[in-house]
Amino acid sequence: MNFSKEEIRHSMLLYAITDRTWLKEGETLTSICEDVLKHGATFLQIREKDLEPSAFQKEALELKALCAKYQVPFVVNDSVEIALAIDADGVHVGQGDIQGKNLRALIGKDKILGISAATVAEAVAAQAAGADYIGVGAVFGTSTKKNARNLSVEKLREICAAVTIPVVAIGGIHALNLRKLSGSQVDGVAVISAIFSSDNPGKATSDLLSLARQLVQPTPRLMRTALSIAGSDCSGGAGIQADLKTMTMNGVYAMSAITALTAQNTTKVEKIVETSPDFLKSQLDMIFTDIFPDAVKIGMLPNARLIEVLAERLRFYQAKHIVLDPVMVATSGSILMETSAVLTLKKELLPLAELVTPNIPEAEILSERKITTPEEIEAAAEFIGKTYHCAVLIKGGHSVNTANDLLWADGQMEWFYGRCIPNPNTHGTGCTLSSAIAANLAKGYSLSTSVQRAKKYLSGALSAMLDLGAGSGPMNHAFCLTGEFS
């Protein structure tokens, strides 16, 4: 696989390096690595000091396939021969190994080259020799590598400031000392024993990943962030515009990736121009590699190709708190998603979602059944949740009931009883509810509390009785704004 420079920097976050010496009876390196990748390791290096070359190569080939499955870069430690023989993504070498300068020519421009450094001079030389990243250590005492050189966090900071390529810190890093690296400007941490010596390598991986995220995006952020991936509604009541207003009013920093431009107003959708998959990818890359969103809301996705690209990027960046509003038909009756894309949505996106928020007609499509009673809402929610392994919020407001919504999560049902507000202007209610839920998840509320808070916000926006446009008009998203600027 080919990884861009931005992708390589991002993949430094939690860099796992194998160590077979910790394997227990019956365990294989491949099965442990699969667990580690499943739990979010962003890079894998095979490091074998005692294995004979043919066994090393066989193991490397297996791990390469595994990393391709999880779209994580895979490099071979020390052995350029094996890296080239199995066409690994790259190689990692130390100062004592083959000279970095010759190495770039040997491996070609497309392979990832990692070089170890412990001084500013070594780091600068590694960059000049064409390294894609440097491994800097040992930042703490380690018993994994004999004779590792010791390095202060201050020196690490100096090295980070001296180079422009990504820097991953290594050596004795574990969950209890990782925070000591804060302020050093590293792009991630490389660990061996903190994962491979653990009784539960998967859990160790996810714990380290969340600590690494805090390290790389340091200073406790007062402002949480949320991303809306949706279509633009030029009339401002639904889509991206409603999402940005909702997220802002719910106290998070709002960002957008646009999937389609719509020319619409409160009476109809006149035209739709779909974003190209490549441009959607670029928007997502710009966002995730800079301001990582604490939650993601997904709305209009007009075709299968956009869904595929989105799913691939969300998996790649391991996006958190994904709320999927499966927008298929507008309130005005316009088709917003090709029928053929529904299958792709089910296969690719639903399993990535923490929560999916269909209205009754959408729930009928997702659960492949008619829904006419509250009992049928419950059965449909259970079907969707169990089939796609996500929580489900089926929204009332259509034929079956009024403002009552059902949340199904982890086998538990919870009804939310809403006040029916006599406001015919409901344009954008679905977008508003799902982005308010995402904003509250971003702030750290539980799913149930986020739904409760989002419903309260929606009731407030509807109760403000804004009356604009000739059709079903927008709500007042800023109903709660008071003070100098209101």
Ligand X SMILES: Cc1nc(C(=O)O)sc1CCOP(=O)(O)O
Output the known binding site: 45-49, 77-78, 97, 116, 142-145, 172, 192-193
Annotated binding site for Mg(2+): 78, 97
Query: How far is Cα 398 from Cα 404, in angstroms, rounded to an integer?
Result: 10
Query: How far is Cα 277 from Cα 304, in angstroms, rounded to an integer?
Result: 10
Query: Crossing angle, helix 447-463 and helix 429-442, to 10 degrees?
Result: 140
Verify whether residue 429 is a known catalytic residue. Answer: yes
Kindly name the residue from 171, 426, 443, 455 that is annotated as catalytic. Answer: 426
Site mask, ligand LCLJCK34, residues 205-234, x = CB under 6 A?
------------------------------
Kindly name the residue from 160, 430, 443, 473 that is annotated as catalytic. Answer: 430
360, 380 contact by CB (below 8 A): no
Q: Copy the structure tokens of residue 227.
A: 């991303």
Contacts of 290 (CB under 8 A, 6+ apart): none
Verify whether residue 266 is a known catalytic residue. Answer: no
Q: Does 47 bind Mg ion (CB under 5 A)?
A: no
Contacts of 367 (CB under 8 A, 6+ apart): 379, 380, 381, 383, 384
Q: Minimum distance from CB of 38 to ligand X (Å)?
A: 20
- Closest among 196, 204, 134 to 169, alpha carbons compared: 134
Verify whether residue 395 is a known catalytic residue. Answer: yes
Query: How far is Cα 19 from Cα 144, in angstroms, rounded to an integer?
Result: 9
- CB atoms near residue 137 (< 10 Å): 23
Which residue, 170 or 296, is less far from ligand X as judged by CB? 170
Residue 422 φ then ψ, to 5°: -75, 65
Residue from 93, 126, 131, 138 touching ligand X (CB under 6 A): that is 138
Verify whether residue 428 is a known catalytic residue. Answer: yes
Q: Does 171 bind ligand X (CB under 6 A)?
A: yes
Of the candidate spans 92-100, 360-368, 396-404, 431-439, the one that interacts with Mg ion by CB under 5 A turns out to be 92-100
The residues in 2-41 that bind ligand LCLJCK34, with binding defined as CB under 6 A, are 15, 17
Kindly name the residue from 64, 395, 443, 455 that is annotated as catalytic. Answer: 395
Q: Does 134 bind ligand X (CB under 6 A)?
A: no
Residue from 10, 64, 92, 174 touching ligand LCLJCK34 (CB under 6 A): that is 92
Known catalytic residues are: 395, 426, 428-431
Site residues (vs ligand X, CB under 6 A): 116, 135, 137-138, 142, 144-145, 148, 170-173, 191-194
